[in-house]
């Protein structure tokens, strides 16, 4: 399961980096950028909800000693959700007016990418071994590993 988690994180990194590059080079129309940005926000939110509502619950049943680690990860998710909320608000505004709003989205995404990198690295180091020790495969893996899209 740790490999699947790492692959999910890699996909989320790829998505945000693609959007950031597109913003910098204006390779896509403003409308396409906004659409991609909102789709990424949905994917990352789904991933974290799957962790919070499913994976972490199962993990804590098997490994109550990870309670502090899980609490830290959930706190990170809250901070990331706040940034995603700002990105969504800016994306909604960008759909109506161009230019400076897209630059603001770029700034938010730059900060988000840095926080995601730190969060993903910490999460993978802190819980990979516990994930690989075996956890019940209930309904959470699709949201965590495939963002609920399959």
Say yes or no to pLDDT of 138 above 80: no
Say yes or no to pLDDT of 134 above 60: yes
- Cα(97)–Cα(90) distance, integer angstroms: 10
- Cα(145)–Cα(49) distance, integer angstroms: 11
Contacts of 27 (CB under 8 A, 6+ apart): 21
Domains of the chain, residue spans: 2-133
Longest dimension (CA), the chain: 50
Query: How is 121-135 classified by DSSP, letter by letter?
Result: HHHHHHHHHHHHT--
Confidence class for position 150, pLDDT limits 50, 70, 90: very low
CATH architecture classification, 2-133: Up-down Bundle (1.20)
Per the listing, tokens 């129309």 go with 29
Q: What is the pLDDT of residues 108-131, one digit of tens each?
A: 999 999 999 999 999 999 999 999
Q: What is the pLDDT of residues 50-94, one digit of tens each?
A: 999 999 999 999 899 999 999 999 999 999 999 999 999 998 887
């Amino acid at each position: 399961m740790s490999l699947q988690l790492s692959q999910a994180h890699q996909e989320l990194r790829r998505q945000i980096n693609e959007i950031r590059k597109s913003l910098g080079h204006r390779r896509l129309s403003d409308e396409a950028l906004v659409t991609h940005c909102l789709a990424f926000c949905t994917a990352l939110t789904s991933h974290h909800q799957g962790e919070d509502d499913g994976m972490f619950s199962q993990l804590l049943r098997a490994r109550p000693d990870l309670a502090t680690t899980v609490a830290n990860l959930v706190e990170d998710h809250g901070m990331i959700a706040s940034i995603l909320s700002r990105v969504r608000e800016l994306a909604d505004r960008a759909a109506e007016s161009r230019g400076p709003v897209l630059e603001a989205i770029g700034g938010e995404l730059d900060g988000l990418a840095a926080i995601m990198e730190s969060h993903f690295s910490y999460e993978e180091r802190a819980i990979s071994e516990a994930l690989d020790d075996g956890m019940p495969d209930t309904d959470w893996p699709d949201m965590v590993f495939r963002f609920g899209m399959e």
